[in-house]
Amino acid sequence: MLKAERVKYILQRLQDIYPETPVPLDHSDPFTLLIAVLLSAQCTDKRVNLITPALFKLADKPADMATKSVQEIRDIIRPCGLSPQKSKAIQRLSEILLEQHAGKVPAQLEALERLPGVGHKTASVVMSQAFGVPAFPVDTHIHRLAQRWGLTSGKNVVQTEKDLKRLFPQKYWNRLHLQIIFYGRDYCSARGCDGRVCEICRTCYPLRKHPKKTLKA
């Protein structure tokens, strides 16, 4: 199967399996989404969703979060891991939103990336899911699947993002990055598939005899 054929097949198959793509992190507005995505670093979405109700009861607006101490925030988010760094980032970014953005989450990628604790992937998720701006957030799971499916040979998520943006029409980006994440969790996990087990891997590479070794992000 040629790469163009793989792209077409993957796009259609993911649409068949996941016609709806709800954001897996519970949130009510751009600020709560930003905080939830920040918390999801090295933490499962399921655990984040268990923790954010208490956090957002404490404060769900930048003006309120900025008044809370780092320790108050950390006491709630501790189960997410990296709580010392994340609690400081949440408190400080709330202050910055008040100081520089009138208490609003900016709808510009560069402005988001300048906030403490907000990297390119987190900023891309907020741009796509909060503001509907085309973006293709790539995490380690998408990076792994893109290699298994022969869509990239990139050694890091930066190159993989460039390759996926080049291969898939922009109008599909926001939905597709979620569809790939969902598929990876359900059928093509790190332990559940080695490039020869799941339907998409077998269809893209029916003659693959050895496990596909993927380059770490």
| Domain annotation covers residue 147 | yes
Coil, helix or strand at residue 164: helix
Q: Assess whether 174 and 98 both reside in one domain.
A: no
CATH number at residue 69: 1.10.340.30
Q: Which of 131, 159, 190 marks a domain boundary? A: 131
Q: Angle 70-137-82 (CA atoms, 0-180°, nearest 5)?
A: 25
Given the residues 29, 139, 194, 212, select the one marked as catalytic: 139
Q: Which of 103, 131, 159 marks a domain boundary? A: 131
Q: Assess whether 121 and 51 both reside in one domain.
A: yes
| Domain annotation covers residue 126 | yes
Given the residues 60, 64, 75, 121, select the one marked as catalytic: 121
Spatial separation of the C-alpha atoms in residues 158 and 22, rounded to whole Å: 25
The confidence score (pLDDT) of residue 213 equals 82
Residue 139 appears among annotated catalytic residues: yes
The confidence score (pLDDT) of residue 6 equals 96
Spell out the residues 6+ positions from residue 193 whose beta carbon is closer than 8 angstroms to its own: 148, 187, 201
Q: Assess whether 118 and 184 both reside in one domain.
A: no
Q: Angle 190-9-23 (CA atoms, 0-180°, nearest 5)?
A: 55
The confidence score (pLDDT) of residue 217 equals 60
* Closest C-alpha to 24, from 196, 185, 167, 163: 185
Coil, helix or strand at residue 22: coil
Tokens encoding 215: 């380059």
Total structural domains within the chain? 2
Q: Assess whether 125 and 54 both reside in one domain.
A: yes
Which residue segment(s) compose the domain that 99 sits in?
Answer: 30-131
pLDDT tens for the chain, 217 residues long, are 899 999 999 999 999 999 999 999 999 999 999 999 999 988 899 999 999 999 999 999 999 999 999 999 999 999 998 999 999 999 999 999 999 999 999 999 999 999 999 999 999 999 999 999 999 999 888 999 999 999 998 888 999 999 999 999 999 999 999 999 999 999 999 889 999 999 999 999 999 999 888 776 6
Contact 137, 125 (CB under 8 A): yes
Q: What is the DSSP letter of 196?
A: S
Q: Assess whether 13 and 91 both reside in one domain.
A: no
Q: Assess whether 40 and 118 both reside in one domain.
A: yes
* Closest C-alpha to 33, from 125, 132, 115, 141: 125
Residue 194 appears among annotated catalytic residues: no
Note the residue count of the chain. 217
Q: Which of 131, 151, 185 marks a domain boundary? A: 131
